[in-house]
Structure formats: C-alpha cells, structure tokens
Amino acid sequence: MNETPAKAPRPKKGNRRKIVLRPMAPIVPAGNIAGRSLMFVISIMSFLACLTLGAVIMVQDTANSWQSQISREITIQIRPEEGLDLAAELDKARDIALGFPGTTGATIMDDDATARLLEPWLGEGLDINELPVPRLVIITIDEASPPDFASMRSALDQAVANVYLDDHRTWVDRLVAMANTTVIIGLCVLALVFTATILTVVFATRGALSGNQHIVEVLHFVGAEASFVASHFQRHFFLIALKGAVAGGLAAAFTFAVASFWASNSLATPESDQASALFGGFSMGAGGYVGALAIVVITAVLTAMTTRVTVIHTIMEIDLIRSDPARSI
C-alpha cells in the first residue's frame, strides 16, 4: 500500500522572512576628494577658455568696426608753420576734396576737438596753439565708389602748403593683420587649455582606477567587459566635467557682465575711452555666449571620451601583463 507523503507545513505569515536586496554600489564613489579637485580644475580650464573666446570675439568685432569706420573716411593733415594762414589752408583743402566725385562730406576739426584727441596722453587744459600739432580735415567718402586718391593727393600738393593726405590703407592692413593674429593666438590658447584638460582627466582616471582596482579586477574576472567598466567611469567623470564646465562658463559670463557694467558707468574718462577703443563695450554678444555654451559641452564630452579611452586602454594593459608577466618587468 502506497502512502502519500505528508505535505510540509506552511510557515505562518508572521514567520516569513523578507529578502531585502541591497542596492549595488557604484564602481566609482560619487563624492571624493579627487573628484572635487578635478571639478575645480575643469572649472578653471573652462573659465580660461571662455575668457579667451570672449576676448577674441570682442577684439575681432572692434577691429571690424574700426575697419568699417576707416574705410568710410580719409584725413587731410596740414602742419602749422610760422606765417602760414592755417584757417585759409584748411578751407582750401576742404573745397578741393569736395570737388572730387566720391566724396560725400568734409569737416574741419577745430582746436577744441583736436585737444580732446590728445587729452588721454597730454592731459586737460592743453593750449593747442603752443604745439606744432597738425590740423585735420575729415573727408567722408562713398564706400561703393571712392574718389581717385592719387589725383586728390596731387591736387592738394599743388594748391595747399604742408599738406598730407592719409587714406588709411596702412591702418586697414594693420587692423586685418592684428585681427588675424588675435584669432590665431586665441585658437592656440584654446588648444592648450583643452590639452591640459585632457591630460588632467587622464591622470584623474588612472588614479580612480588605481583606487578601485580590486573592484575592477573582480568585475573583470567574473566576465564584465572593459566597455561595461568604462561606461561607469565615463558617466562619473562626464557629470564632474559638466558641473565644472558650467561653473567656469557662468563665472566667465559674470566677469564680462561686471566689465560691461564698469565700462558703461565709467564713460568720458581717458581710461574707459582707451579700453572701449580696444575692446569695445566689453560685450561678447549672442555669438560669445553661444561659443561659451559650446565650450561647456565640448569640455564635458571630451572628458567623457578621454575617460572611456583611458579606462579601456588601462584594462587592456592589465590583461597583457597577466597573460605575459615578463611585460611588467
């Protein structure tokens, strides 16, 4: 006779044990001294890169503005001389210039305006008649069809004493060369900043790998691929770089805002006039802020890519050393 096996008694509801799964800890600790230091370094690099970009944009815009203004005007200079009727010579030069097609206006710069031009260098209260300062006639020209400068120069030389016609071609060439040089220098500085950022990320990644080597080795031993480990390091350093780059970009934008506020509240002073002549209104414009945003994104993405390549390359080196111990010697 077959006996039916007795069923095991079910545990009471009160005696059931709950199985609690602990959340998996990240391979790389979220907050550590190395991570905070890297974030601080990246914020400095981003700040310098955004400052460089903003300075390049401001100088470029100012150079373009200068070039546009210079191309619309030419200058007739008459040097003072004892016994020379300067006012009559200025009127004569103005009339001759207006007689050429392509000129749209002429203005004789008076003594007060000439003194204001020299004020940043010679100070206030200057008596212009005591110095051999050339008097100027500003001629406005048509950019589309400029006058014949050679014929105008010849006519002025024949009719006006101590005259010199400056068509500003030399200044335009110098401005173009200066703008191109500024762009090249700015690109070189940006390249150096990004290179320093890459090297910093490489050292930080290798340091994080060394500090968590036992975890990486266990994961790799149980079958985790290098790309899996690299993805965790990549995500960790991407967030660090993004926070640091955003902080640096905001600091650069705040710096330009403070400089622009200072320039707008320091008008009509020699210092602000010279600074405005070189950098404009200390305003990057929309293009500058878009460029700063691009630097933030590029810094974060570049950090993530550098981290991934460094982790995979380091794990491959470990595998090679294990397979051939002679390589470690």
What pLDDT score was predicted for residue 59?
79
Instruction: Tell me the pLDDT band of 121, cut-offs 50, 70 and 90.
Output: confident
Domain ranges of the chain: 33-67+172-319, 80-161
Higher pLDDT, 209 or 138: 138
DSSP single-letter state for residue 26:
P
Average pLDDT estimate for 314-321: 72
Give the pLDDT confidence score for residue 30 in this predicted structure: 57
pLDDT greater than 80 at residue 126: no
126's CB contacts (< 8 A; 6+ apart) are 115, 118, 119
Q: How far apart are CA 117 and CA 185, in angstroms?
A: 31
- pLDDT, tens only, 273-290: 555 655 555 666 777 788
- Pick the residue with more confidence: 261 or 322? 261
Using CA atoms, how far residue 26 sits from 220, 224, 229, 232, 241, in Å, is: 15, 14, 11, 8, 18
Instruction: Answer for the pair 86, 217: CB distance below 8 angstroms, yes or no.
Output: no
pLDDT digits (tens, 9 = 90+) for 75-90: 899 988 888 888 889 9
Average confidence score pLDDT of the chain: 78
pLDDT (0 to 100) of residue 110 = 84
The share of the chain scoring above pLDDT 70, in percent, equals 75
d(Cα 177, Cα 155) in Å, to the nearest integer?
32
H/E segment holding residue 140: strand 135-141
What pLDDT is attached to residue 246?
94
The answer to whether residues 135 and 86 touch, using CB atoms and an 8 Å cutoff, is: yes
* Rounded distance between C-alpha atoms, residue 18 and residue 298, angstroms: 48
| For residue 70, pLDDT beyond 80 | no
> What pLDDT does residue 28 have?
62
pLDDT at 44: 92
Q: Find the helix or strand (DSSP H, E) in which 135 lies.
A: strand 135-141
What tens digit of pLDDT does each residue of 13-42 get? 555 554 443 445 556 655 555 678 888 899
